[in-house]
Amino acid sequence: TGGHTTEILRLLSCLSESYSPRHYVLADSDKMSEAKIHSFEQKRAETFSKSQFTLDRIPRSREVRQSWISSVVTTLYSILYSLPLTYKRKPDLILCNGPGTCVPVCLSAFLLGLLRIKRTIIVYVESICRVETLSLSGKILYYFSDYFIVQWPDLKKKYPKSVYLGRVV
């Protein structure tokens, strides 16, 4: 909610109209991001008249300060919920930046690739606020993403698979 949404919308504002339709996946309890996305897409439609998007909701995989044990269960539930959605949408690319909601979606897409149903490119952009360590989502998706982008040179040194592009948001 809030910060991650603002960062991802900044990234999306740089994309051409060929990245359409866009499918947003939000936690079912996230109302703030929905409003930001609608506002962003209304402005985008002024430039790109054929711009298309959808909003889908999945159960939140982890609440702030939720215990690690219970978050395993809720994340598994979110993955099971994400599988039919990912299968239905069959995205070519997933661009994500750290909220817990991205983990089940990426793992679902990764699984569909393993099953040779649909190969999806996963691009993870670690939040600008992660200067010295990765977020929990980053620590998980470091191993599943095709491109793992960090915004600080110290993170590139610690995580050699990552790509350092400087500040991207």
Residue type at position 133: T
Residue pLDDT, tens place only, 11-54: 999 999 899 999 999 999 888 999 999 999 999 999 988 889 99
Nearest to 79 by CA among 68, 69, 71: 71
- pLDDT score of 1 more than 60: no
Class of domain 2-164: alpha beta
Residue pLDDT, tens place only, 106-134: 999 999 999 999 999 999 999 988 989 99
- Report the alpha-carbon distance of residue 60 to residue 103 in Å, rounded: 10
Residue type at position 62: R
Residue pLDDT, tens place only, 49-69: 888 999 999 998 877 777 878
Pick the residue with more confidence: 100 or 24?
Answer: 24
In this structure, is the dihedral angle defined by the CA atoms of residues 57, 59, 62 and 68, taken in order, positive or negative?
A: negative
- Report the alpha-carbon distance of residue 155 to residue 135 in Å, rounded: 11
* Residues 6+ positions from 126 with CB-CB distance below 8 Å: 97, 98, 134, 135, 138, 148, 149, 150, 151, 155, 162
In this predicted structure, what is the pLDDT of residue 39?
95
- Report the alpha-carbon distance of residue 46 to residue 85 in Å, rounded: 29
* pTM of the predicted protein model: 0.92
Kindly tell me the number of DSSP H helices and DSSP E strands found in the chain. 6, 6
* Angstrom distances, CA of residue 41 to CA of 38, 44, 144: 5, 5, 29
Domains of the chain, residue spans: 2-164
